[in-house]
Amino acid sequence: MPFSSFYDQIESNKRKTYLLFFVFFLVLVSLGFFIGVYLGSVEFGIEITFIFGIFYSLLVYFQGASMLLSLTGAQPATDRKYVFYVDTVEGLAIAAGIPAPKAYVIQDPAPNAFATGRDPKNSYVAVTTGLLDKMSRQELEGVVAHEISHIQNYDIRVSLYAVIMVGLIGIISNIFLRSFLYSGRGSNNRKGEGGGGGFLLIIGIIFMILAPIIAQLIRLAISRQREFLADANGARLTRYPEGLASALEKIGKDPTQLQRADDTTAQLYIASPLKGKMLSGLLSTHPPIEERVKRLRSM
């Protein structure tokens, strides 16, 4: 893999981070405006929304990775039976020239893994017990190298913000839905407000329709190309592409469903955990495993 492509991806991920913050800002302004219309003061609505936004941003920046680890059920890999896994994480981090991420384990029989954090100094690698049980040492090294690559090129930062953005959109949709329900119930007592309630209802319906689309676009903003790049760089770190190729084949063929898989965190994993979902292939943030394996074996 050319180093120019690797460093170009780092710069691309930084630009995507700024873009996500801009989208975050626009969503906050829109939310504040409509809350302000509902409360009768646009300025007040925007002010309280920005207070929430600042608090939310700080919480995400400092606690976002911990929240995701908790959401997936990941725990520190402190048991002695995980020594090889922990040593693998530390060794590949040294090879990549980054601080060693904290190693975590998810008690789940489905083989999968992900990395998260805000930068290489504050990063985590988590694998399922299913992955540890079903992979050979070379395959485990390939998977860990792939996740180390995501940390090295700052994919984890973009993914973290994207996941939180999807969650924020869900919160906003819920706020509007509750507002509409309350407005509808109390419409007979608010005749003096003109068509404000009806206006909010129309805008809310439009927003509720657009919210899932916006969430999906944010997921797709995390380009599928980053998976190919992490595969290639992971193979470079281990100098054994077959290890990762074989691991991906096993993950793809394994029928076990990840217990805590959902649309919000799906993009974090090395392979999509949403097996059997109708749109998981069409709108997946991951490229087909067959194509990834083909590229690895052609290296």
Q: Can you point out the beta strands (E) in the chain?
A: 74-76, 102-106, 113-119, 122-128
Q: In what order do the strands lie in the sheet with 102-106?
A: 74-76, 102-106, 122-128, 113-119
The total number of residues written for the chain in this structure? 299
User: Which of 254, 255, 247, 259 is CA-nearest to residue 108?
Assistant: 259
**Contacts (Cβ under 8 Å, ≥6 apart) of 106:** 72, 73, 74, 75, 126, 127, 128, 129, 260
Query: Can you state the angle between helices 241-253 and 137-152, rounded to 10 degrees?
Result: 100
Both tokens of residue 70? 């908790």
Residue 290 among the catalytic residues: no
CA distances from 265 to 54, 117, 248 (A): 23, 13, 19
Residue pair 175/168 in contact (Cβ under 8 Å)? The answer is no
43, 139, 141, 147: which one is catalytic? 147
**Helix, strand or coil, per DSSP, at residue 259:** coil
Nearest-5° Cα angle at 252, 246 to 257: 135
Catalytic annotation, residues: 147
